[in-house]
Structure 1
Amino acid sequence: MSIVTTLTRMWLTRSARPFRFLNEYDELLPFTDCNGLGLYVHIPFCRSLCRFCPYCKVRYDAELCERYIDALIREIHLIGRQHQGRKRTTSLYFGGGTPALAAKRIGEIIQALNDHFEITEGIGVELHPDDVNVSTLYMLKDAGITKISIGIQSFLPKFQAMLGRKPVDTEALRLALAEVPFDTVSMDFIFALPGQRAEDIRTDLEEAFRLGANHVALYPFIDFACTPNTLPVMAKEEKRTLLDAVTKYCESIGLIRTSLWTFASEKRASYSSMTRDNFLGFGCSATTLLKEQFKINTFSVEEYCRRIDEGHLSTSLTLRFSLRQRMIYYLFWTAYSTRVDERDFERFFGIPLKKMYGLEMTLACLLGFFTRKDGVYRMTLKGAFYYHHYENFYTLAYIDKMWGILRREAFPERIEL
């Protein structure tokens, strides 16, 4: 696994230099000249901790949550004041954890961000099904939320039991969504669970749209070493058959593919915090991606609050990109949208894509992973599967390793990947 990712990295970056994350950071972040800048806020609190979830989360404690939100708002001002006036940004996403546990203060957080940033493409928040009730939805809507993403995982009892999730009150969910409308109502599902078939996923998707969703996300199950999960991983060919069948089903009923894992029933419906050229992350474990650097905040809630209270950023590690490293990061996550535009690449880097990766893109087309027309590479069904397959290697070799270390150490000296 690590050999695959290491050789791929060396070939694509034309260097043996690893991704080197060091315990350092810039007090002044170079984001003021970034175009297409997005925002992300992490709320790590959950009522209970799902065994399969790899994200930074802690069990909810009201007092700690209040202290954390106070620190979060201070961090927003600490960074936001580095730019004179209000910086134009694209979208804002709240992730977790369960952000709705801090629903009463979401408006306060958004107001702090609005002091420094002009948000032009809407505000999204992740929700647990238990939080999809009329009072919470109105509170979020009044705060400025325009998009919601509900972590269903599955409506089917056998998979709910497998994941340690309780049944969803679908009628209550439907009534709440009907009363409080949002531009995007997305529902998340996990695919490639043990014994899962295409008809199981079709049942989940049909139920999602019946209940009021206009957007769905199908995330592959990944066995993270940093979680206590014990579920077996689906075999490669079985997963490919399942993915192809689900993709063809979505296309057959007229859904619009908005990214590798997401489909929408309406063109205006969108929900993705991943396909942004640059972004600022606020909160513990949040990441920031800029033109020449990537930084990740400490995973420790206590250390996060302490650092912010002292007037410093909570950065745990920073990666200084080489040019080709940044290009590979850009291409990897841009491909998640299932298309790569040569013009966008050249606008971002000032260098033609063909000059840097013409050979690789030509081979990708010859192998049937992409088609090219008018300077735009579009991912095929075959390409989507192999992206999924490689993304699994990438996740386990890079993200899993890093997150495992950051769970144990608030501020490690360095990590090389």
Structure 2
Amino acid sequence: MSIKTDLTRMWFTRSLSPFVFTNEYDEKLDFEDCTQLGLYVHIPFCRYICNFCPYCKEIYSEEKLDRYIDALIKEIHMVGSTLRGKKTVTSLYFGGGTPALAASRIGEIIDALSDHFEITEGIGLELHPDNVTSDILRQLKAAGVTRISIGVQSFLDKYVGVLGRAAVDAKAMNAALAEVPFETVSMDLIFALPGQTIDDLKADIDKAFETGANHVAVYPFIDFTFTSSPVKAMAKRRKRALMDAMTEYFEEKGYYRSSIWTFSTGEEAKYSSMTRENFLGFGCSATTLLRDCFKVNTFSTKEYIARIDGGKLPTSLTTRFRKRQRMVYYLFWTAYSTRVGLREFEEFFGVPLKKMYGLEIFLAKVLGYITEENGIITLTKKGAFYFHYYENYYTLSYIDKMWGLMRKEAFPDGMEL
């Protein structure tokens, strides 16, 4: 565990106590009164496994996928049937894995969710570049998908090879996207790869928008301990120079910044499954964040199906938040959008943000990490980089440890972070 993340956690929670996860779980989830609730569904199957990907996934077979989706629909009804009526939610996102492999059954999953939830802000789904065909896009659109995210990673041959991916057929992708339009077409790219320059990034960014994207996410490469990628992390100074130059390029082009890593042609082009106050997760490895707790489902598809068939929720680990712990979680993921609203924080917690963290806000302003205007705290370019720098420690100290354990054990006894 990183000393930096330990000290940060203790400072912001005003406590020496770690985040404690146990294998206890609630038979009924207390989400009916949650505001700004989102939905997430995980489909963990891929045709082949990318060596850099840390997410819960396994090799696709049609039989395994069908059995999994049958269980997934049962989980949705198990959770949703506890409602007295339909619950209004903001958005729905399908992640993976490669959710588009289930294109013919996405409509069934959305129908099951629609029995219990009313989705008001759209439905997003991730695709591998190989899935971007007019037939698959039509199936997704007919099912109700309004936003798509394509995991391009890079259009450049030298990085496609480094990442163990096949070359992207940009011309065919562009033709399919022109034939079947969506509200948001996001493309994921990776930065901080070996030898990568700003000209390389500019070429990838330009190619993404030329190929049909109206939203681009440029994520940093992170070398998780449990992946088999031979790629090593870029040095801090070079990464900052690259990130600053990339941000300046997006700004020069007039793109709108919607988060630390995402830029779009306008504010209306949105794609984010993370910056939500509360969310319900369905499927293997999916997480649920509610006002007082955070839970994560088992990473084993076999055990997930067995648990659902036995009439039990597939929760693997749960933590119960103390108030300041929940505040830290809220601020971390809200700051991902580069903006934190003072009014929104007070509405959620019933106490002013500056009363809880006035000193930290003052110091962040002095150090040039944030600005404040009209009740909105905004990360500066410097602040965005250091947010990323800390997030890297958080990812390797917390997420790497949790996911590493859960890849080995379906239902661990517990853990501390």
Instruction: Tell me whether the two structures share a fold, i.e. TM-score over 0.5.
Output: yes
Please state if 1:151 is matched with 2:151: yes
Consecutive unaligned residues in structure 2, runs of 5 or more: none
What amino acid does structure 2 have at the position aligned with 1:266?
G
For 2:136 and 2:339, locate their aligned partners in 1 and report how far apart those are by CA, in whole Å. Answer: 36
Instruction: Please give the secondary structure, in 2, of the residue aligned with 1:312.
Output: coil
User: Matched residue of 1:29: which SS?
Assistant: coil
Query: Superposed, which structure 2 residues align to 1:244-283 within 5 Å?
Result: 244-283=244-283
Tell me which amino acid in the other structure corresponds to 1:77. Answer: H
Partner of 2:18: 18
Q: Which amino acid aligns with 2:108?
A: E
Q: Supply the AA of the counterpart residue of 1:58.
A: E
Structure 1 CA distance, aligned partners of 2:47 and 2:202?
A: 29
Is the counterpart of residue 207 in structure 1 residue 207 in structure 2?
yes
Shift of 1:232: 1.4
Q: Distance in 1 between matches of 2:229 and 2:402?
A: 18
- What amino acid is the match of 1:33? D
* Deviations 1:219-260, CA, capped at 9 Å, x for gaps: 010000011112111000000000000000001111000111
CA distance in 1, matches of 2:208, 2:125: 18
- Separation in structure 2 between the aligned mates of residue 16 and residue 267 of structure 1, nearest angstrom: 41
Amino acid at match of 1:12: F
* Partners of 1:386 and 1:357 in 2: CA distance: 18
SS of the equivalent of 1:224 reads coil
C-alpha deviation, 1:393, in angstroms: 0.2
Show the 5 A alignment for 1:235-314: 235-314=235-314
Aligned to 2:188: 188
Q: Output the amino acid matched with 2:262.
A: T
SS of 2:299's equivalent?
Answer: coil
RMSD: 0.6
- Once the two structures are TM-superposed, the CA of residue 50 in structure 1 deviates from its matched residue by 0.4
State the partner residue of 2:45: 45
Q: Distance in 2 between matches of 1:276 and 1:139?
A: 27
Which whole-Å deviations, capped at 9, do the CAs of 1:19-69 have from their partners, x for residues lacking one?
A: 100001111100000000000000000000000000000000111110000
Give the equivalent residue in structure 1 for 2:33: 33
The alpha carbon displacement at 1:372 in A equals 1.0
- Write the deviation string for residues 165-202 of structure 1: whole angstroms up to 9, x where unpaired: 01011111010000000000000000000100111111
1:69-218 equivalences in 2 (<5 Å): 69-218=69-218
Residues 306-385 of structure 1 correspond to what in structure 2 (within 5 A)?
306-385=306-385
Which AA in structure 2 matches 1:238? R
User: Take 1:258 and 1:14, find their aligned partners in 2: how far apart are those partners?
Assistant: 31
C-alpha displacement of 1:374: 2.1
**Deviation at residue 267 of structure 1 after TM alignment:** 2.2
Which residue of 1 is the match for residue 228 of structure 2? 228
In structure 1, runs of 5+ residues without a counterpart are none
CA–CA distance in structure 1, aligned partners of residues 227 and 212 of structure 2: 32
| SS in structure 2 of the partner of residue 412 of structure 1 | coil
Task: Provide, for residues 250-282 of structure 1, a one-character-per-residue CA deviation record: whole Å limited to 9, x for no partner.
Answer: 011110001110000122100000100000000
**In structure 2, C-alpha distance between the alignment counterparts of 1:181 and 1:372, rounded to whole Å:** 38
Amino acid at match of 2:137: L
- CA distance in structure 1 between the aligned counterparts of 2:197 and 2:22, rounded to whole angstroms: 43
| Cα distance in structure 2, aligned partners of 1:152 and 1:224 | 20
Shift of 1:373: 1.4
- The alignment covers a number of residue pairs equal to 417
Q: What TM-score do the two structures reach when normalised by structure 2?
A: 0.99
Q: 2 CA distance for matches of 1:236 and 1:226?
A: 22
Distance 1:172 1:230 in 2: 30
Distance 2:404 2:231 in 1: 19
Amino acid in structure 2 at the alignment position of 1:288: T
Distance 1:208 1:294 in 2: 35
Percent identity reads 65
**Structure 1: how far apart are the matches of 2:334 and 2:404?**
26
Letter in 1 for 2:132: V
Of 156-165 and 368-377, more deviation after overlay is shown by 368-377
Distance across 1 between alignment mates of 2:232 and 2:101: 32
Shift of 1:2: 1.1
Deviation at 1:95? 0.1
For residues 361 and 198 of structure 2, what CA distance do their matches in structure 1 show? 31
Give the match's secondary structure for 1:94.
strand
Counterparts of 2:250 and 2:72, CA distance in 1:
39
Q: After TM superposition, which residue ranges in structure 1, 4 or more long, deviate above 4 angstroms? A: none
